[in-house]
Structure 1
Amino acid sequence: MIAQQLTGEQLLDKAIAYHDPHNNWDTFKGTLNVTMETPGGSPRVSIIDIDLSNEYFKVVATRDSIQTMHSIKKGKCTTSITDSISEPQRRTPCETAGFLKNYYTYLYGLPMKLKDPGTQIFETVERKTFKGKEYLVLKATYDEAVGSDVWYFYFNPKTYAMETYQFFKGDPNAKGKDTGEYILLNKETVINDIKIPAIRAWFYNKDDKYLGTDILKAG
């Protein structure tokens, strides 16, 4: 059902006003402690330092006593990974550092990151029921240079809190069908006056298979 009362940009502005009322994300400086739990696997604990003003990112991840470090400061990469790259499709350690920087700043910077250049916000807002709850749903795609996934963001219709998001590898009504994942968000951690979802549970769109859960604590 179409939610005529709000455009996509208006909904995004209301969601950002809820999560980041003082516009602190652009100058975010803080530490995130993220534990990833997966079925049948050992937990991975990641200590993530982000300083957007100084273009600094660092993640130290530990699983089963094995620790790795990746950091980027003003485009310069430092990493603990020293093995050679023999597989053509495998990321180099510094490419991995860039991937991790983009991954963590995107997911933990939502919904504010939807204001980034290259993001295409659809004007039409839909009202949908997902997993038994009603939401206002925002659709976003990206310029080709940014990414090809199609994203949907589910907001509480009363508070505008972001409670779920979902992505497909292409149009979900065409080649993207049965691809991608949805992420259920629960609880919030307040860091630098920004309300950040504390628990993210990941599932496949295709069969609802549970993939794992990320648990966030402030550093």
Structure 2
Amino acid sequence: MAIIMTTPDNVPRRTHLDLNLSASYFKSSVRKGNHTVDYIIDKGNCKLLLNNSPDIADHYRDSLQITCNRANRMKDYYTYLYGLPMKLKDPGTQIDPKVRKKSFKGKEYLVLKVTYDEKVGSDTWYFYFDPSNYNMEVYQFYHDESKNDGEYILLSEEITVNDIKMPKIRAWYYNKDDKYLGTDDLVKANTLN
């Protein structure tokens, strides 16, 4: 997969992802300015490259966030978000059996509330499905719902990646004030050059 992330006041970030879940392989190649950073998790082993080299000066590790901790966070982030709604079948996922009807941004949805076993996660998520076709169009999470923190993500358009239909656009906003955070645009791999 190839993703262009745009955020206010920043240069777009271009990311190429290679995922093979059955082989426990994840690779994220991120272009940051004049540099390309590769984060690789292969069967639990971490490998980091800067401009195709494993020799990375400490100041680059810090300024470009080239760490195995970040590599694992990116793996978790991308496999979760791009694996939805199928990831809701993962162990430790607690789906509230009551499907709610809720209006969001002027449209009516069927909504699933999801929490997780403590060892899996602590956030509360809501998944919004169009009742006419059951397409997931919005998801939203809270760290502490009573504080209205967290974010919501609007999904739009559609793209096919390896015969899988996926949302093309993910636009991110804060729950508390609807402030726009950024957009992930899933594009064809050859458009990143």
**Do both proteins adopt the same fold according to a TM-score greater than 0.5, normalized to the shorter chain?**
yes
1:57 corresponds to which residue?
26
* Residue matched to 1:46: 15
Q: How does 1:186-197 map to 2 (within 5 A)?
A: 186-197=156-167
- Correspondence for 1:205: 175
Matches within 5 A, 1:56-135: 56-80=25-49, 82=56, 84=58, 93-135=67-109
Q: CA deviation at 1:80?
A: 2.1
* 2:138 is equivalent to residue 164 of structure 1: yes
**Letter of the 1:120 counterpart:** Q
Partner of 2:62: none
CA distance in 2, matches of 1:152, 1:96: 26
SS in 2 for 1:110: coil
Structure 2: segments with no counterpart, 5+ residues: 51-55, 60-64
Structure 1 residues 143-163: Cα deviation after superposition (integer angstroms, max 9, x where no partner): 111110000000010111110
Alpha-carbon displacement from aligned partner over 1:113-172 (angstroms, at most 9, x marks no partner): 0100011000011111101111100000011111100000000101111100000003x2
Q: Taking structure 2 as the reference length, what is the TM-score of the superposition? A: 0.88
**Structure 1 residue 155 and structure 2 residue 129: aligned?**
yes
Secondary structure of the residue that 1:103 maps to in structure 2?
A: helix
Q: Percent identity?
A: 55
Q: CA deviation at 1:84?
A: 4.8
Tell me the matched-pair count: 179
Distance 1:187 1:133 in 2: 17
Residue of structure 2 equivalent to 1:20: none
- Deviation at 1:92? 7.5
CA contact (8 A) 2:2 2:186 kept: yes
What is the DSSP-based 3-state SS (H/G/I as helix, E as strand, rest coil) of the residue aligned with 1:123?
coil
CA gap 1:34/1:92 in 2 versus in 1, 3 angstroms? closer
- Root-mean-square deviation (CA, aligned residues, Å) is 1.6
Displacement of 1:211 after TM fit? 0.5
Q: TM-score, normalised by structure 1?
A: 0.78
Structure 1 letter corresponding to 2:172: W
Distance in 1, matches of 2:169 and 2:57, equals: 33
Does the CA-based 8 Å contact 2:37-2:66 persist in structure 1? no
Note if 1:179 corresponds to 2:180: no
Counterpart of 1:53 in 2: which secondary structure?
A: helix
Query: Which amino acid in the other structure matches residue 167 of structure 2?
Result: P
